[in-house]
A and B are shown apart, each in its own frame.
Chain A
Amino acid sequence: MTTSVFTMPGRKGKGTQQTRNLWNDAWRRLLSSSTGRIGLAISLSLIIVAIIVPLLLPYNAKTDRNLRNRLLAPSWQMPATELANRKLTNTSYLFGTDELGRDIFIRVLHGAPLSLTVGLFAVLVAVLVGSLLGLVAGHVGGWFDTLAVWMMDILLAFPSTLLAIAIAAASSGPASLTARMSAVAAHIPVLDRMFDPQLFNALIAIAIVEIPIFGRIARATVLSIRGQEYIVAARATGISEGRTLFRHILPNSLAPLLVQATLSIGTAIITVAALGFLGLGARPPRPEWGTMLSTARDYIGDGRWWYATFPGLAIMLTVLGFNLLGDGLRDALDPRLRK
């Protein structure tokens, strides 16, 4: 699965050369499958929303309240007389309001950057640490490999949700390492959203849970191609071990790592919400979808369906988008499935 570049026949001349390689082919295949197209469309629009919303609609969760309009149903569902009484229009509160009179639509929108950042960063950390661990373990072998595999096996021996919950709960002490790390993170532009130490714990917990998955993929690639001629040839020319590892071996595991990373973003986003729901993720009033659901739970019995419905739909749509994209990428990148 090395990337090979050659010119298409019949196309000559400067600037018009079209290169064909693994990634270009995969991109074309991704766009030609409906799964890939829909997944890409959903995930890209969510990312755009997550970038634009904080810029266009600044939101302060700490001051947002409007006690006169508490727990209102979505305004398209309200009778006209009540709308007139409250001086509202059909579209005032698309998703209704919550127990503090906050607009659920606005809060769901502001949940997107939160969930996506935590999901993306958790997976990024897991990919970096996991693939490095797997590559080095597979390449070096010996006791280091045995130890790394043992550690990954132990992490995989726990059901992933339970492990994330246990780590998030254990690291939530006031003087914990992650609390100090999050104080540092407060000075980094994108990470400052994670200032909430408990949410940062959740991120780290999710990353740790995902590390062995990427470790295994990277290690398996190393083991499968270690003995191939071009690796032997690379070594015979006298280039360093590190260069062999990162320039010649690593590119071969990029495709499976990318597919797994996309699918893992979906899992990570569900887990962030689950931790929030259990009170181990973002704290209120932060507009995190899972945290919103945990408050909404108290209002289900009163028949206020809208409070829990919309944050949950947002989680589902996001996860669905990344799962579709992951499925599409797998079909596009896996040579065995090509028709």
Chain B
Amino acid sequence: MAQYIVRRLLGIVPVIFGISLFAFLLLRLIPGDPALLILGEKATPTQWQALREQLGLNRALFVDLSGKRPFYDTQYITFMGDLLHGNLGDSIVHKRPVFTELRERFPATVELALTALLIAVTLGMTLGILAAIRRGSLVDTGMLLLALLGVSIPVFWLGLMFQYLFAVNWHILPISLRVDSHLSRNFQLFTGLYTLDGLLRGRPDITLNALYHLIMPASVLATVPLAIIARMTRSALLEVLGQDYIRTAQAKGLRGRTVILRHALRNALLPVVTIVGLQLGLLLSGTILTETVFAWPGIGTWLLEGIQGRDYPVVQGGVIFVALVFVLVNTLVDLLYVFLDPRIQYR
């Protein structure tokens, strides 16, 4: 098993290498000069040269054959060297290290993604179990319909509709941001999660306010994973319920709830766990749309600002980081399977 884990971890090395190569090429294969695009048409040649020098654009891509510099003094080698040292370059717009900005923005995304996952798992599994127990009933049909709608609704539109209904029309939820601005002004963050920091610093009012702000974006973000988890729970449970040992359990005279919760659900949970893990990877990385709608200051809005401002180091660093999180979470889920399912033999 240990051998399997090591092999699985080594297997992601070429993928991570490929991700970095892709992100490197993505911004360099574009026709047109990034320096010129950043400066605009009114730039002087001196400004242009200076920015090219700063971005390292006047060097060769992979191998320098001109003889003017050492052959290894190229954009790619420098890029990889910096990357291995955890240096993602400096943001052109904010003039700060990309890594620092990432570290500041990531907690907001984590808070949003985890809340959304919590909603999706609790609601999704409950709906899935109910639908499986009452197969063919109105609950079942309703759940399937809801699941279908869940994967067909554009989340950014759902966000706008929620904003209109709950914030503009009924005034029961805040329209955007993580906490009210008068609360966040003098509040020192510790972990970066307002819900947690409010408790840690003895400010429950901030925790409550943060939760209040989380309800709408987290529910919107939860729609797709909720639909997928509900469908998966239903079908996994239905498959298990048809097996002989369930009939045995029922024949023994066990209560219906015991059979479902103790006997069936445990075995049905395996595929659900995989799906939940995959969804977590997606949530941590795929929140650009929801964050944009709710002006949520996470990785998604940061990346979008980088794209709109042609802040190449931000886009490059952000894309690498997000893909890395996605790959690592997915690999961890795979490895989790080793511990959860002793029936599978790993070689």
Contact = CB atoms under 8 A, between A and B. Distances in A.
Given A270-B154, A274-B289, A154 B18 contact: yes
Contact of B326 (A157, A293, A324): A157
Interface stretch (A93-101, A128-136, A248-256, A308-316): A308-316
Given A153-B18, A154-B22, A274-B154, A170 B289 contact: no
Contacts of A169: 307, 315
Interface residues of B, number: 47
Interface residues of A, number: 48
A158 B164 CA distance: 32
A254 B343 CA distance: 35
A159 B163 contact: no
B288 A161 contact: yes
**B15, B156, B293: residue with the most chain A Cβ atoms closer than 10 Å:** B156
Interface string B75-108: 0000000000000000000000000000000000
Interface string A154-198: 100111111001110111011111000000000000000000000
B164 A300 contact: yes
Contacts of A154: 15, 18-19, 21-22
A177 B281 CA distance: 32
A212 interface: no
Contacts of B168: 300-301, 303
Interface string B287-323: 0110011000000000110011000000100010011
Contact of A153 (B15, B154, B315, B326): B15
A27 interface: no
B18 A157 contact: yes
B66 to A, nearest CB: 25
A59 to B, nearest CB: 23
B118 interface: no
Interface in B153-183: 153-154, 156-158, 160-161, 163-164, 168-169, 175
A296 B164 CA distance: 11
Contacts of A316: 149, 152-154, 157
Give chain A's interface secondary structure class.
helix
Nearest to A297: B160
Contacts of B21: 154
Contacts of B148: 320, 323-324, 327
A175 B319 CA distance: 23
20 contacts: A150-B14, A153-B18, A158-B22, A159-B322, A162-B286, A162-B322, A165-B307, A170-B27, A170-B30, A176-B31, A266-B152, A270-B154, A280-B307, A293-B157, A293-B160, A300-B163, A312-B161, A319-B154, A320-B152, A327-B148
Interface of A: 150-151, 153-154, 157-162, 165-167, 169-171, 173-177, 266, 270, 273-274, 277-280, 290, 293, 296-297, 300-301, 303, 305, 308-309, 311-312, 315-316, 319-320, 323-324, 327
A-B complex: 9 closest residue pairs judged by Cβ atoms? A312-B157, A154-B18, A173-B32, A320-B152, A169-B307, A319-B152, A159-B286, A159-B285, A175-B31
